[in-house]
Amino acid sequence: MADPIIYVSARIADAFVKVAGALADGVDPAVRQSDHADAQVNGSLALAKAMGEPPRDVATKILEVAELADVCSNAEVAGPGFINLTFANEFLARELVASSTSAKLGVRSATILRRVVVDYSAPNVAKEMHVGHLRSTVIGDALVRMLMYVGHTVIRENHVGDWGTPFGMLIEHLVDSGEVSTAEELSVGDLDSFYRGARKKFDESEDFQNRARARVVALQSGDVETLRLWKLLVAESTRYFQTIYRTLGVLLQDADVMGESSYNSLLPQVAKRLNEQGLLTTSDGADVVFPSGFTNRENQPLPLIIRKSDGGYNYATSDLACVIDRVERLDASLLLYVVGAPQAQHLQMVAAVAKQAGWLQPPHSMVHVSFGNVLGADRKMLKTRSGDTIKLDALLTEAVERAASAVAEKNPDLSADARSEIARIIGIGAVKYADLSTDRIKDYTFDWDRMLSFDGNTSPYLQYAHARICSIFRRANVDRASVRKITPTIEHPAERELAMRVLQFDSALWDTLDKYSPHRLCTYLYDLTTSFSSFYEQCSVLKADSDDQRRSRLMLCDLTARVIHAGLDLLGIDAPEQM
């Protein structure tokens, strides 16, 4: 085990049982970080209460039986009956070597390995991806990487919006504009102008409206020519989405697309199964389910519409089909939905109906990994100056351009090729990190200067620290692999602080996965990097006092760099060796 706190927790838990037997059952033995020592045990108070004995006596008993000799240099009763623990430097050194030589830098694998579906990105065909889809893509991809890192089997699903009534007008607009020019427009990402063109005709011409409606019917009844035109729209849009994914460096592939339409053949079955369970009722001519616990403002029960009065199925129906497919076909036990906050109620109702119908029973569960908006400097939704949706590829191009000038300033000696590659890594990383480093539930303000700064909780700061460590090894001409098994001597307080941080990679990642909140990992990496900076300021590495000290400090440098690299990689961000 890597995080010393987790290691010690297990020993304390044993001691609780030795002291109190079955009475220890209900008491949390958790050891926590402390301002007074390395770690603190608070559960001794609760244990004393359960035993009906004075807390300080109980704490003393715990210390008598706890096996801490090899891990703590000091363990003492404090205040009303807490226990303060100080880790032995030799123990930290051993743990560092264990992390350094382990495949996952000390991160524990999951004890229960699950099949997890992560539903993310999910843009809509013939519509520009907006910043909300950017958030879903970036957050979802980070979670995919973290879940895989701890050993789960992860299935990525891109629930592209590729079905529904708007396709009537979109296909008619395609017919009017001609297939070649439509394909051109869509493949360069002019999705919004195409959509707006269709919308405008629809609003202005009754004849067009009639054509569009007839087209929806033709699409739903499987008319061959209509399906061909529909596929053209889908193919051109997904091609454009893929270019964005490649620029962003996310894992999503064409094969991960499971659009709404892929559930079409299951939709009648959803209705049938709901009906057989007696859950389906008619309301205003539509087939609906009233999941318990959902009401509108007037306290009326809220329906989830399964089949509209015109016979068409709904967004919610595909999502129910989706649950069935993910649980029954894919055998996934955890379904994550990385979707914006406005769809919270929709997803809650889908989950409620799926549970009532018996399709989603423990250990199967679904979790809405919700997120807030991206705001502009005016604190309103991020838009272009003319008020249009921001085109994602334009935004990413700008990020790389801005990074290029920052790199030119910082390191004028780089070759043009190296500079443009590094600018790409820094620019894209900055956009992703800015998104990931704030609590996803909250809105965040898009701010170029802040995200591209080499100071503060930003990816350039972390990438720069990583590159700096790489350069230490280059200058010293030391092979990084040669220091990995060295047991470091921890003497200086800054070495000790850095050691503690490095060892917390394990718990930081688990803490992140616990809440599906990538900003926790970001905060950890930022703290680690700050600890490294102060270590590097206070402790000479290449000019250390002795060869042993130099090798020991190089070992700490290498391990720090690997944790930063691995941490950024889990966020989907590259870390170049020089910049």
| Chain residues in the site for ligand ARG (CB under 6 A) | 119, 122, 124, 159, 161, 319, 322, 337, 339
Q: Report in angstroms how near the CB of residue 440 gets to ligand ARG at its nearest.
A: 15
Residues near 321 by beta carbon (within 8 Å), at least 6 away in sequence? 263, 266, 267, 269, 270
Instruction: Identify the DSSP state of 391.
Output: P
- Which CB, 4 or 161, lies closer to ligand ARG? 161
Minimum Å gap between C-beta 146 and ligand ARG is 20
% helix, strand, coil for the chain, step of 5: 55, 10, 30
* Nearer residue to ligand ARG within complex by CB, 257 or 462: 257
Q: Which residue number, 323 or 403, has a Cβ lying nearer to ligand ARG?
A: 323
Nearer to ligand ARG, 263 or 505 (CB): 263
Residue 129's alpha-carbon distances to 185, 256, 392, 399, 428, in angstroms, are: 15, 17, 7, 17, 17
Nearer to ligand ARG, 45 or 339 (CB): 339
Place of tokens 């991206």: 374
E strand or H helix at 287 = strand 286-289
Q: Min. distance of Cβ 129 from ligand ARG in angstroms? A: 9
Residue among 255, 242, 233 at smallest CA distance from 164: 233
Q: Least separation, in Å, of the C-beta of 220 and ligand ARG?
A: 19
Please, which residue, 91 or 241, has the CB nearer to ligand ARG? 241
Nearer to ligand ARG, 19 or 350 (CB): 350
Contacts of 178 (CB under 8 A, 6+ apart): none
* Shortest distance (Å) from residue 250 CB to ligand ARG: 16
* Closest CB 127 distance from ligand ARG, rounded Å: 8
Q: Which is nearer to ligand ARG, 308 or 450 (CB)?
A: 308
Peptide bond into 518 cis (omega under 30): no
Say how far residue 196 (Cα) sits from the centre of its chain: 32
- Give 24-30's long-range contacts (Cβ < 8 A, gap of 24+): 24/50, 26/50
Q: How many CB atoms lie within 10 A of CB 74?
A: 12
Paired sense of beta strands 281-283 and 153-157, if any? unpaired
The pair of three-digit structure tokens given for residue 147, joined into one six-digit string? 């879940």
- The Cβ of residue 165 has, within 10 Å, a number of other Cβ atoms equal to 16
With contact defined as beta carbons under 8 Å apart, do 166 and 532 qualify? no
Instruction: Kindly report whether the peptide bond that precedes residue 363 is cis, defined as omega within 30 degrees of 0.
Output: yes
Least separation, in Å, of the C-beta of 124 and ligand ARG? 5
Is the Cβ–Cβ distance between 395 and 389 less than 8 Å? no
Least spacing, CB of residue 182 vs ligand ARG, in Å: 21
C-alpha to C-alpha distances, 465 to 266, 495, 557, nearest whole angstrom: 52, 16, 10
Minimum distance between the CB of residue 175 and ligand ARG, rounded to whole angstroms? 25
Taking the least distance from each CB to ligand ARG, the nearer of 338 and 500 is: 338
Distance CA 170, CA 194 (A): 8
Nearer to ligand ARG, 99 or 261 (CB): 261
Q: In the sheet that 82-87 helps form, which strands lie side by side, from edge to edge?
A: 31-33, 39-41, 82-87, 72-78
Q: Is 579 helix (H, G, I), strand (E, B) or coil?
A: coil
Q: Which is nearer to ligand ARG, 105 or 122 (CB)?
A: 122
Residue 99 C-beta: closest distance to ligand ARG, Å: 37
C-beta of 350: minimal distance to ligand ARG in Å? 8
β-strand partners of 288: 281, 305
